[in-house]
């Protein structure tokens, strides 16, 4: 069953209402609830670990275009892809005439620290991600010599919510966690910290572990013996 953000905030306040859980919201209660809820969603998107749902999107990469931006449609100037800021890129590939060309996701620092040359155009082999506050940029290297369809699989930051927004855009297990996380933040800023007890803290931690367990983000650290941007690999790849 769908629920508005305002009703969701009411539920969070009920968890920390020390006197009576049925006391209606008053003053800036709803405003603070919306503010802290958006802060939590943005905080979760920092790494993508607590944003469990990944999406598969496609878009066209024109000839010669080196960079594509991802962001909210309300951002000015309008990003190239308006699904929201890309918080975690997990896989990327190109398609042309039913042929798939996997892209290598390279670290930005490694890319700019490596010896490289800029061919006029060619088959893009690398996707270099740069995260900014409101945007994510992906540079495709080298730039495309033909029009390709780009496939991106990753996690995107949700748009800002209002009190009339619908919480159904989030999975129910994330809603449960958010309800508890929002209640904890509200208890601090609204002077109700005495109502946040150990039982609620244990429920929050259990819900957090559930979110992390369904996240598709891989936290394993893998090191490469050589950069794909250097050495004989470049020659073998024909770049």
Q: Residues 107-154: pLDDT tens digits?
A: 888 888 877 777 778 899 999 999 998 899 999 999 999 999 999 999
| Block residue for tokens 């061919």 | 119
Please say which residue of 141, 157, 173 terminates a domain: 157
Structurally, the chain folds into a number of domains equal to 2
| Block residue for tokens 């953000």 | 5
Which pLDDT band, with edges at 50, 70 and 90, does 218 fall under? Answer: low
Say if 228 falls within a structural domain: no
151 and 163 within one domain: no
* Sheet order of strands, 99-102 included: 55-61, 148-156, 86-96, 99-102
Q: Which residue has the higher pLDDT, 118 or 190?
A: 190
147 and 65 within one domain: yes
What's the rounded mean pLDDT across residues 204-222? 77
Question: Which residue segment(s) compose the domain that 116 sits in?
Answer: 55-157
């Amino acid at each position: 069953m769908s629920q508005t953000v305002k009703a969701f905030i009411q539920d969070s306040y009920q968890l920390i209402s020390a006197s009576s859980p049925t006391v209606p919201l008053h003053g800036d209660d709803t405003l603070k609830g919306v503010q802290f809820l958006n802060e939590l969603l943005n905080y979760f998107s920092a790494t993508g670990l607590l944003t469990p749902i990944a999406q598969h999107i496609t878009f066209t990469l024109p000839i010669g275009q080196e960079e594509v931006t991802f962001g909210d449609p309300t951002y000015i100037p309008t990003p190239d892809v308006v699904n929201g800021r890309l918080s975690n890129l997990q896989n990327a590939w190109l398609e042309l005439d039913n042929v798939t060309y996997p892209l290598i996701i390279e670290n930005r620092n490694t890319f700019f620290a490596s010896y490289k040359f800029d061919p006029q155009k060619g088959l893009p082999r690398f996707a270099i991600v740069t995260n900014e506050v409101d945007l994510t940029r992906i540079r495709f290297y080298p730039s495309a010599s033909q029009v390709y369809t780009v496939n991106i699989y990753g996690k995107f930051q949700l748009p800002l919510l209002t009190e009339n927004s619908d919480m159904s855009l989030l999975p129910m297990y994330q809603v449960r966690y958010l309800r508890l996380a929002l209640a904890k933040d509200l208890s601090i800023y609204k002077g109700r910290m005495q109502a946040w007890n150990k039982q609620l803290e244990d429920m929050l931690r259990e819900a957090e572990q559930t979110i992390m367990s369904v996240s598709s983000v891989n936290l394993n650290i893998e090191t490469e013996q050589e950069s794909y941007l250097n050495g004989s690999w470049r020659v073998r790849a024909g770049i």
